[in-house]
Amino acid sequence: MEIKKQKWGILSDGTKVHLYTISNGNMSFSCTDYGCTITSIVLNGKDGKKTDVVLGYSTFDGFVNGNLFFGALVGRFANRIGKASFTIGKTEYKLDKNDGPNTLHGGYKGWHKEMWKAKTIKEKNKYGVTFKRMSPDGEQGFPGNCEVTVSYFLDDNNNLTCYYTATTDRATPINITNHAYFNLAGGGDIGEHLMQMNSTKRLEVNAKLIPTGKLLDVKGTPFDFTKEKKIGKDIEKVAPGYDHCYVTEMYNPANKQCGLPLDDSDLVEFCKVREPNTGYAMSVFTNMEGCQFYTGNFVKAIGKNGQIYKPHDAFCLETQCFPDTPNKEDFPTCILQPGQEMKAKTVYSFEV
């Protein structure tokens, strides 16, 4: 295994940005200290062909100017918070309304547009990069100084692990994920990808995609992936496409808090996706209660090597606490208290 570090770009204030590439011989991924963004995941096929299976841009400037969260780290709260506000105790906190009346992915100034301190890690059978940053009290409207660590590791078994931890000095919502857009064919419509989920329920949402608080059975509906089927089979029945939070087997109504207990046994397999033409497959393991399945319904961009990205050219699997958790008493809380440590872990396991 090897790690390569290179200068990648310079921000307008003169800050130097670096790109890190980690390879195990069968696959590689690249990430940057600008926003902890995963810029590529390259699989090496048996025929010697290399396939980049995530959407993005060919240049640093593309990621700086882009607004689609390609490969982005999302925080302080991933997904939506209804009416762009929440209350802790008797204090109401107001957030950015950057998604109609709601807050999406933390607001206008996302963590994927910030610089992070980076350190390369070389351990037995595991190479990667750890990023750290202090999110100050009041950033994005959230309370508390929040110290965050993000680690991306690759091992010899083609497992790309995303590990997130956070502590705070004031009670604050915390919900961190990565927003990689996957396409196991390297491009084109993802309708022929085959997906199977270990999930029998999803969250009901209103017209603004805010959860109502109800969990709905997926069996017999267009949302049912309990048996393997093509992603495109029922997508027209949920136009403009999937953008829904599924409930993982980690969910237990008796668990009152999301993202606290964690050891290597505290992971469940959420889903497996495979592409029949390339033969590539990926499985997703997580300790989070929810996973947002999104089919790139509004993607319109010129991406890597001049590719024209269109709606349904990729899918996202964003492991997370349930959306709008700060406003839902029945959901496992996402409020991190002083003295606690949030620990979230997701593994993308590739068959190359």
Out of 105, 112, 179, 312, the active site residue is: 179
Q: How far apart are CA 92 and CA 106, in angstroms?
A: 16
In 250-329, where do the E strands start and end?
268-274, 281-286, 290-294, 301-302, 308-309, 316-320
3-state secondary structure of 295: coil
What would you report as the CA-atom Rg of the chain, rounded to the nearest whole angstrom? 19
Indicate if 351 belongs to the active site: no
Report the 3 state secondary structure along the chain: CEEEEEEEEECCCCCEEEEEEEECCCEEEEEECECCCEEEEEEECCCCCEEECECCCCCHHHHHHCCCCCCEEECCECCEEHHHEEEECCEEEECCCCECCEEECCCCCCHHHCECEEEEEEECCEEEEEEEEEECCCHHHCCCCEEEEEEEEEECCCEEEEEEEEEECCCEECECEEECCECCCCCCCCCCCEEEECCCEEEEECCCCCEEEEEEECCCCCCCCCCCEECCCCHHHHCCCCEEEEECCCCCCCCCECCCCCCCCCCEEEEEEECCCCCCEEEEEECCCEEEEECCCCCCEECHHHCEECCCCCEEEEEECCCCHHHCCCCCECEECCCCCEEEEEEEEEEC
Indicate if 18 belongs to the active site: no
End-to-end Cα, the chain, rounded Å: 16
Out of 139, 275, 289, 318, the active site residue is: 318
Q: Which uninterrupted H or E stretch holds 31? A: strand 27-32
Which residues are tagged catalytic? Answer: 179, 318
